[in-house]
Structure 1
């Protein structure tokens, strides 16, 4: 009687691939939610670009920010690409089935992330502040811009040395910071609904809250992913130790 050939031993990567392929929520709901979160800032940026092209002023504060058109256009285009393309980097199935696309999109996102942070820092430092921008908010924006650039830069260096876990973690952090405007739309809506017109202190608080919420969610996602990888490694070890040895 022939000895049965043992099936290949599962690995953490194969287990993760199976989970990703069977999870439509992870593959489509997450990117869809991130795209929806990007809608308001993307629309606002598009209206600002139309204004710069000669259209009517629709978005407030146009006279101040349009004084630096090159930096402003670069910032809007970079953050739009970063937000929309970056959303699909969070689809595990898409990432695994289209690795070439993931790598190409990742290079674009690194460039756009650094441009977003750099132009955001330039606009903060060299444009006159808005009437409701406090000195504290300006300082927070500087810290946020530097932090975003650092996260994207560290994420890029991590993938260059093939540390994919660190790469994912740092790019998630950078993306969360870059998506601050989407969350800030809702924190400012909450302020308007509960308190009333946005004051300087209210703007500082709602802007900071938007970034803080995103950073907290990002850290939760990173730790949840790490815990899931630990569970998969444990499952693989148990499966491997329980597998019967072929008869000699």
Structure 2
């Protein structure tokens, strides 16, 4: 079971990695692939920072769940990359939420949820880092898992939005809010299960 977790996380990370790669291709002059290209490309610097930091955090973070690597120096070295990347991902996401023009489906509650999610991720990473420095490794593990779960929201949201499209048709304002919130809540629920499950 423990060996399947990193593989599953890498598969989930493929969703934001693919979408981010498509956006970067657009910035490089390629044809628009994803919707909402004109709005997204209006803020190239924060968007590129967000894509790169999320990619690093989601892919490299999956390997932190490999049991053998956690007992080696690699875990600590990777952590020194992951914490700055995660903070940059959260803060750039917060900037995009607050300053990028909204779409027609972006409700005020969704904006508030995105702000709360970004701040929760920042708090989780800082608390995890603080716990590691105090050698409270149980708390360090718990807070880093919570921060990683938030970052992986885009992967789960592809499935929650896909389910909405299959059952109810095109997204509505409340449909978008609900499916995005559901993705984050599912990830946090799984994170808490991982944190609390018996360890051998």
Q: TM-score range by the shorter chain?
A: over 0.9
Partner of 1:205: 178
Give 4+ residue runs of structure 1 displaced > 3 Å after superposition: none
Partner of 2:62: 87
Structure 1 segment 91-110 matched on structure 2, within 5 A: 91-96=66-71, 99-110=72-83
- Counterpart CA distance in 2 for 1:84 and 1:59 is 22
- Confirm or deny that 1:149 pairs with 2:122: yes
- Counterpart CA distance in 1 for 2:15 and 2:144 is 22
Partner of 2:99: 126
Question: Deviations 1:101-151 (Å, cap 9, x if unpaired)?
Answer: 111101101001100100000000001111111111011000000000000
- Confirm or deny that 1:39 pairs with 2:14: yes
- TM-score after normalising by structure 1: 0.79
- Counterpart CA distance in 2 for 1:189 and 1:100 is 40
- The secondary structure found in structure 2 opposite 1:133 is coil
- Counterpart CA distance in 1 for 2:16 and 2:171 is 18
Question: Deviations 1:73-128 (Å, cap 9, x if unpaired)?
Answer: 000000001000000100112222xx221111011010011001000000000011
Structure 1 segment 18-57 matched on structure 2, within 5 A: 25-26=1-2, 28-57=3-32
- Counterpart CA distance in 2 for 1:111 and 1:214 is 21
Question: Deviations 1:38-70 (Å, cap 9, x if unpaired)?
Answer: 111110100000000111111111111111111
- The secondary structure found in structure 1 opposite 2:135 is coil
Partner of 1:58: 33
Q: How many residues align?
A: 200
Q: Structure 2: which 5+ runs fail to align?
A: none
- The secondary structure found in structure 2 opposite 1:59 is coil
2:162 aligned to 172, 176, 189, which one?
189
